[in-house]
């Protein structure tokens, strides 16, 4: 992709941007939930045992479903762009 592609509408920009956004989102989800996990670990000793365990489990579940949801969303976006490319190329012939 070149700089001129940003100003002309000959090439789609969004499919090439989805992958970096996916990786940035993945890092953010994991980073935030690691912090949340350690806050839960700290609450084991300050607030209460079950509160801390609950927050630690919530961090693990949130990481799992967050990464899974992000992946499904990214694949859905890529699939929509692929469907658009196939339908516009077949109807233009």
23-77 pLDDT tens trace = 999 999 999 999 999 999 999 888 889 999 999 999 999 999 999 999 999 999 9
Q: Is residue 13 a part of any domain in this protein? A: no
Range(s) of the domain holding residue 36: 32-77
Does residue 93 sit within a domain?
A: no
The answer to whether position 71 is within a domain reads yes
User: Residue 49 falls within a domain, yes or no?
Assistant: yes
The helices-and-strands tally (H runs, E runs) of the chain is 2, 0
- 15, pLDDT greater than 60: yes
Please tell me the distance from the alpha carbon of residue 83 to that of residue 78, in angstroms, as a whole number.
9
Judging by beta carbons within 10 Å of its beta carbon (0-12, 13-18, 19+), is residue 87 exposed, middle or buried? exposed
Structural domains counted in the chain: 1
Assigned domain for 41 exists? yes
Query: Cβ-count burial of 55 within 10 angstroms (0-12 exposed, 13-18 middle, 19+ buried)?
Result: buried
This prediction's pTM = 0.76
Listed residue (79, 34, 31) closest to 58, CA to CA: 34
Classify residue 70: in a domain, yes or no: yes
pLDDT reported for residue 89: 74
Q: Is 65 domain-assigned?
A: yes
The confidence band for 9, taking pLDDT boundaries of 50, 70 and 90, is low
């Amino acid at each position: 992709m070149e700089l001129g592609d940003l100003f002309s509408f000959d090439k789609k920009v969004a499919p090439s941007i989805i992958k970096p956004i996916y990786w940035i989102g993945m890092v953010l989800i994991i980073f935030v939930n690691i912090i949340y996990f350690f806050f839960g670990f700290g609450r084991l000793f300050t607030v209460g045992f079950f509160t801390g365990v609950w927050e630690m489990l919530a961090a693990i579940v949130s990481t799992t479903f967050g990464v899974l949801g992000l992946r499904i969303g990214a694949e859905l976006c890529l699939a929509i762009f692929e469907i658009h490319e196939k339908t516009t190329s077949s109807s233009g012939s």
